[in-house]
Structure 1
Amino acid sequence: MQATVGGRRSDVDARKEGLPWRPRFSAQRSVDQPSRVSALLKSLPVLYLAGLLGTAHPGGGYRSLLQAALLCSAVGDACLVWPEAFLHGMAAFSLAHLLYLWAFGLTPLKPGLLLPVLLVFAPYFGFLLPHFLPHLVWPLLVYSTVLVSMLWRALARGESARWGALLFLFSDAVLAWNTFFHQLPHGHLLVMTTYYLAQMLIALSAFQSPRLKSH
């Protein structure tokens, strides 16, 4: 296992493996013993939400897209128990956000909502950029672009999807800070709590609007 410096995996060791210091949404504080059981436990809340959407009335394309996004998220959760599967997990979450974006649609467009999101995201990404491992810069940029696009469309849609997307961005922002810059006290708990709450609020949007779209 890697040596740690000041309670965290050293940058040198991380670079040798080509991995981030900590895996995304780890089910436990130590990643010394990743297992299928921990992967399943971490994915269960999201899988439950996907099952809950089966009771949504009416059903239709919106609900189906949310279910697919939740299933992709569960795959991402499971992948990221293993640090070597970090990029696979990021790809799964990117697909989940694309499915959310598809579900939220492009009407009403509300382009003005995109500017404040970018004004917050761009400086934050720029601040963390020097701390990213070189081979992660482009994957993280692609993932972040998809996440910001999903947030824009969720804000345009409104209802609980808006708050869920905001919490998703907040959770990922804390996670990136913890992983690439400096670990916050109780940061892991904050990331996990806001992540699960974000998924729940997005899933609940399937029950809120009688004007669900068919895709």
Structure 2
Amino acid sequence: MGLPGNPHRSAQPPHVARWLSPFVVTCTVYLVWVPEDPPSWPGALAKGLPMLCLVVFLQAVAPGGRSTRLFQGALLCSFVGDICLVWPEGFLYGMAAFAGAHLLYLAALGFSPLRPGLLLPVLLPASCFLGLLRPHLPAPLAAPVAAYALLLALVLWRALAAGGGAGRGALLFTLSDAVLAWDTFAQRLPLGRLLVMSAYYAGQALLARSAASGPRRRPD
């Protein structure tokens, strides 16, 4: 082992990096060259295009089966959500699309191993953040945002229970949504768009990469 004639197997096969390249390119194009204002359909499509690249990535490299299809469905819902959120009047539609994505992620991640001990450390910070955000929310959005936050917390719990890239990806996704909510409703943040979208794209990529790795190993 380790001799020139017996190279170690790469943790990330070359074809995985090759199929992720379009995702990296489209993320860069959106973050560097596409302006946030004024909202436009070309800008909205550029924002969502990385999600379509991840759908193609999973089609090319992931093992087939129900889990892969669920991850692809979640990415397609995210694509719809990305487009809706470009326009302020589309906020509720975007949140509904992302709620659909999280439901699909929940179905893909499953509930085994259960690891209930992770639930409280997830729900406690989520509840505290929601409490801080609540005074800044318009009254009609208070209940939908609370329901969405609970759903996102459940996805984070299940992803942390699965471990690996899924857990890291869900953490970044959660961070992205938290920054977006604070930037939108409480206080505009310097480089808010860059922080939100960088964490979001990285989180989605890690989630997709975890699906491409095949069945996750379960602890005994």
Settle same-fold status: TM greater than 0.5: yes
Deviation at 1:177, TM superposition (A): 1.2
The aligned amino acid for 2:202 is L
Deviation at 1:80, TM superposition (A): 1.2
In the alignment, is residue 64 of structure 1 matched against residue 87 of structure 2? no
Report the equivalent of 2:198: 193
Report the equivalent of 2:36: 29
In the alignment, is residue 136 of structure 1 matched against residue 150 of structure 2? no
Q: Deviations over 1:60-115 (max 9, x none)?
A: 11111000000000000011112111111100000000100110001111111011
The aligned amino acid for 2:156 is L
Within 5 Å, give how 1:163-174 maps onto structure 2: 163-174=168-179
Between 52-61 and 113-122, the greater mean CA deviation after superposition: 52-61
Deviation at 1:211, TM superposition (A): 5.0
More helix by share: 2
Deviation at 1:207, TM superposition (A): 2.1
Report the equivalent of 1:80: 85
Report the equivalent of 1:43: 48
Within 5 Å, give how 1:51-130 maps onto structure 2: 51-130=56-135
Q: For residues 84 and 36 of structure 2, what CA distance do their matches in structure 1 show?
A: 16
The aligned amino acid for 1:29 is E
Q: For residues 157 and 211 of structure 1, what CA distance do their matches in structure 2 show?
A: 7
When normalised by structure 2's length, the TM-score is 0.80
Query: Structure 1 117/50 Cα, relative in aligned 2: closer, same or farther at 3 Å?
Result: same
Report the equivalent of 2:211: 206
| Aligned-CA RMSD value | 1.8
In the alignment, is residue 176 of structure 1 matched against residue 181 of structure 2? yes
SS of the aligned residue for 1:109 comes to coil
Between 183-192 and 196-205, the greater mean CA deviation after superposition: 183-192
Q: How many residues align?
A: 186
When normalised by structure 1's length, the TM-score is 0.82
Alignment check: 8 A CA contact 1:104 1:157 kept? yes
Alignment check: 8 A CA contact 1:79 1:85 kept? yes
Aligned residues with identical type, % of pairs: 55
Q: For residues 35 and 186 of structure 1, what CA distance do their matches in structure 2 show?
A: 20
Structure 1 segments unaligned to the other structure (5+ residues):
1-24
Report the equivalent of 1:162: 167
Report the equivalent of 2:27: none
Report the equivalent of 2:19: none
Larger Rg: 2
Structure 2 segments unaligned to the other structure (5+ residues):
1-30
Report the equivalent of 1:10: none
- Structure number with greater CO (CA < 8 Å, separation at least 6) is 1
